[in-house]
Copies of this chain bind each other. A is one copy, B any other.
Amino acid sequence: MQELAKAPVIERWGRFELFLPGPEDGNPFTDVTFGARFRQGRRIIEADGFYDGEGCYRVRFMPDTLGVWAYETVSNVPELNLVQGTFKCVDPSAGNHGPVGVDREVHFAYADGKPFFSFGTTSYVWNHQDEELQEITLRSLAKAGAFNKIRMCVFPKHYDYNLNEPALYPFAGSLEKGWDFTAFNPAYWRQLERRLEDLQKLGIEADLILFHPYDRWGFAEMTPETDDFYLRYAVARLSAFRNIWWSLANEFDLMKAKTMRDWDRFFRIIQERDAYDHLRSIHNWHHPGIHYRSNLHWYDHSKPWVTHASIQHHDLHFVGEWQETYRKPIVVDECRYEGNLNHGWGNITAERMVECFWEGMLNGGYVTHGETFLHEDNIIWWSHGGTLHGESPSRIQFLRRIIEAGPQLGRLSADFQWDTAAGGVDGEYYLVYFGSSRPGFRMLPLPEGTTFTIELIDTWNMTITPLPGAYEGTCRVELPGKPYQALRIQATNQ
């Protein structure tokens, strides 16, 4: 065992990585088992390692408690077996709040307790574009300041406006000669990991989509054995990144080669292999209610391995009912995108995109953005990243600042009427949003015995105007009679 003084220092929720040289012959991806047990006191956490090509074996670990951790490798290859060592886990640096988990049943928080209000965006294959464009995307994310989660795919995408070939593929082999589904392409994964790091530095969670239907390479129709082999490899490589979320699929119900039993199995594999219990969900295409008397169902988010519901739906009024149904956080990960695309899911106005955020958030859920403007070079944020052209991100950032300054929004016993979305903490804090409704005044059902201040928020013009006076009990508030107004109502400190 190394001396403690020489042991590496890893910050809490940082990433320890052990590298060992090992055999290159045969197929190391399938022939060699490799992992490690990490121990602190009586706690033992087993982490799978992985083969990273060129005789290089790695195992990663994200420590969640301070102090000394010891490890010992496990392998079917003697030179990789029973290697021991220690490292010291120290306080996290500024901005490192740990991985995000479920908090207070329907919300999220970082591991250090700081609430995480999910403001997502969507750029499915930004990581498959050329290097320059990827850098532009990162700069756009930093500049917008609106988003702290991004939906992105492991596999490349085939679809309208998505006909180029990526530089790298997850599997070994090539487009010309075919794929070797028994081996991975470490260069692909290292590139992906670099982008996960870049996102982490921006404070952005990577909602990593493991399968999707938009495929011309065969990745949507692999055998069950290959699917499982791929999942185990992804989890071994990536689960020690604190900003990872597992999205089993984009639009799982369009993947005709997969059955519900497959999806259940995928969830359980990830649940078993991911030592850190990162967030797990799955995203639908169809939805119940698309027809008035529909019997269509999406994935049953009440299954125990689902941590939160990732939902495609255009109507944010249902967030409260989904919360009641699943008793889990609701993330509306697609509610149509701001843009002018020929496709219906990609041509809503910025006004509507922003309205979705306010409605979804104030109903207690979380909402994800996307942008789909026609572009002469077919560089469209929703798939390729690049530059944000829309009018919604600045308004989403404005909302984010408001939300992050307040408490997690719960359902209210006070009834602010059905044409609003309203959330807060009874008797203390209310956010009330009128959307495209435009009342000229309103009677507010505030409690007696507490005085409140009220601010009028113009969610489109991004202004916050304190209303004169104090408010208490059932009281009348004058409103400007135009769309996209909201109220922030706060109890005054006595």
Q: Please report A residues at the B interface, Cβ cutoff 8 Å.
A: 288-289, 291-293, 318, 321-322, 325, 340-345, 347-349, 352, 374, 417-420, 436-443, 481, 483
Contacts and interface: CB of A to CB of B under 8 A. Distances in A.
A340 B440 contact: yes
B348 A437 contact: yes
A344 B418 contact: yes
A340 B481 contact: yes
Nearest to A322: B292
A443 B440 CA distance: 42
Nearest to A418: B344
B342 A442 contact: yes
Contacts of A348: 436-438
A417 B344 contact: yes
A437 B321 contact: no
A490 to B, nearest CB: 22
24 contacts: A289-B292, A291-B321, A292-B321, A340-B438, A340-B439, A340-B440, A340-B481, A341-B440, A342-B439, A342-B441, A342-B442, A343-B417, A343-B439, A344-B419, A344-B420, A347-B419, A347-B439, A347-B440, A348-B437, A348-B438, A349-B438, A349-B483, A352-B436, A374-B440
Nearest to A344: B419
The dominant DSSP class at the A interface is loop
Contacts of A439: 340-344, 347
Nearest to A291: B321
A318 B288 CA distance: 14
A359 to B, nearest CB: 14
B292 A437 contact: no
8 smallest beta-carbon distances between A and B, as pairs:
A344-B419, A340-B481, A340-B440, A292-B321, A374-B440, A347-B437, A347-B439, A292-B318
A161 to B, nearest CB: 12
Contacts of A437: 344, 347-348
A348 B325 CA distance: 30
A227 B426 CA distance: 46
A425 to B, nearest CB: 24
Contacts of A441: 342, 374
Contacts of A419: 344-345, 347
A443 B289 contact: no
Contacts of A418: 344
Contacts of A318: 292
Contacts of A436: 348-349, 352
A438 B348 CA distance: 6
A483 B339 CA distance: 11
Nearest to A318: B292
A422 to B, nearest CB: 12
B289 A342 contact: no
Contacts of A417: 343-344
A141 B292 CA distance: 35
A95 B142 CA distance: 67
Given A341-B439, A344-B419, 8 more contacts: A291-B321, A342-B440, A342-B441, A342-B442, A347-B438, A348-B437, A352-B436, A374-B441
A373 B463 CA distance: 25
Nearest to A293: B321
A342 B483 contact: no
Contacts of A481: 340, 347, 374
Contacts of A325: 293
